[in-house]
A and B are shown apart, each in its own frame.
Chain A
Amino acid sequence: MIPLSYLLVLSGLLFTIGIIGVLFKRNTIIIFMSIELMLNSANLSFVAFSRYLGNLNGQVYVFFVMVVAAAEVVIGLAIIVNMYRHFKSISADRPNLLKW
């Protein structure tokens, strides 16, 4: 039996790598992949707690998180495609209409 703390540390590591990706990358597609990494690490801690507390609700939450992640990816990639059509670039620096 794997200790719970190992799973939580792994989940925290993956979440931190995702945050680093969101903060330091400029390519919007890679930012999106980092968001997927963070959602996955949250799923991992859900499953770990569900296993160790003997409660299936955590796995049902993971199911809902996956559905929301799928919808979010579809909409986000459509926004990226529109951004590419408009700016001819997918860098996150390019849209600056709201800056002053």
Chain B
Amino acid sequence: MEMLLFCFFAFLCVISSLCVVFFKNPIKSAISLIVNFFSMGAIYVILNAEFIALMQVLVYAGAIMVLFLFIIMLLDVKHTAKEKVYFKNNLSVVLSFCFIFLAIVFSVATSLYNAGLMKGLKGLDWMFLDNSNTKAIGKILFSKYLLPFEITSLLLLVAAIGIIVLGKKKNT
């Protein structure tokens, strides 16, 4: 059952990300990116990472995609983005896809083999020790990772100031 669900959502993930890249209309790409984010969230739930799944749906599918769609509709890009086609045949796309994918798989497999992780890995039930994944993450986030967490707030402040500066009209 778990395997079946995983296969379904992985298939959905791959198909929707292909749609993101190969649709001509940016709005259709954005919609398929939303589908991709939701199916990633489902895979996180299958992996018992409920907090990450929630953040995925809230932050990515909620906030970031609203921003994307807003910018796409603001800029009216359907008329402005006339794409020059550099690669007329799809052969170069397919070839580079295979090459990069094989390179990634090969490097990951060799490093896993050197670390001795190729077999014998059983998932643990450690995430339910604290009754909830979110509680466990909160504990580790506010004790061990307290300083990076505070620096994160500084990063968000810098981003907010930066977007105010960038969004200002130049001729005022």
Binding site for B on A (CB under 8 A): 1-2, 4, 6-10, 12-21, 23-27, 29-30, 32-34, 36-37, 40, 43-44, 47-48, 50-54, 56-57, 59-60, 62-64, 66-71, 73-75, 77-82, 84, 88-91, 93
Binding site for A on B (CB under 8 A): 2-3, 6, 10, 13-14, 17-18, 20-21, 26, 29-30, 33, 36-37, 40, 43-44, 46-49, 51-52, 55-56, 59-60, 63-64, 67-68, 71-72, 74-75, 77, 80-84, 86-87, 93, 96-97, 100-101, 104-105, 108, 112, 117, 121-124, 126-127, 133, 136-137, 140-141, 145, 148, 152, 155-156, 158-160, 162-163, 166-167
Are A73's CB and B64's CB within 8 A?
Answer: yes
Are A80's CB and B152's CB within 8 A?
Answer: no
Cβ-defined partner of A37 (8 Å) among B36, B64, B127, B159: B36
Are B17's CB and A14's CB within 8 A?
Answer: yes
Bound Cα distance from A4 to B38, whole angstroms: 21
Are A80's CB and B71's CB within 8 A?
Answer: yes
The B interface is mostly helix, strand or loop, or mixed, namely: helix
B6 CB, min distance to chain A CBs, angstroms: 5
Return 24 A-B CB contacts under 8 Å, by A number: A2-B3, A2-B47, A14-B13, A20-B21, A27-B26, A29-B68, A29-B71, A33-B30, A34-B20, A40-B36, A40-B60, A43-B56, A50-B49, A51-B49, A59-B52, A59-B137, A66-B60, A70-B156, A70-B159, A74-B160, A82-B166, A90-B75, A91-B82, A93-B84
Are B71's CB and A77's CB within 8 A?
Answer: yes
Decide: A6 near B10, CB < 8 A? Known: A17-B18, A71-B155, A81-B71: yes
